[in-house]
Amino acid sequence: MDEKQLYEQKLQAQLDEWKADIDKLKAKADGARADAQLELKRQIDELELKLQDGRSRLAELSKASGEAWVTLREGMESAWESLSTAMSEAASKFKQ
């Protein structure tokens, strides 16, 4: 397995983990007070948009070859960091 395939597998595993985390957050939001539910659901919607963006970027990366995938990988790192930060922030708000 080459470096690109390993990288794609790593990203897919992270996306799957984040999807599971979002599902857990949805369950917590359903049990929250009505006023809190609105804010929590808004945050979940934002996370789902970022998750979809991550999936799109991974699909784009999968189609790339040669030097193009290396360039895309650099942009992917930034998007991944943004999604990771958003997931962490949302999780911490749900714990409050």
pLDDT in tens, 24-77: 888 888 877 877 778 888 888 988 988 898 898 888 888 888 778 778 888 888
| Distance (Å, whole) CA 84 – CA 16 | 13
Do 10 and 39 touch, CB atoms closer than 8 A? Answer: no
pLDDT of residue 75: 80
Do 8 and 61 touch, CB atoms closer than 8 A? Answer: yes
Give this prediction's pTM: 0.77
User: Which residue in the block uniquely carries the two structure tokens 């992917």?
Assistant: 76
Does 9 score more than 90 pLDDT? yes
**Domain ranges, ordered by start, for the chain:** 3-95
Q: What is the pLDDT of residues 76-93, one digit of tens each?
A: 888 888 888 888 887 787
Enter the tokens of residue 29: 């939001």
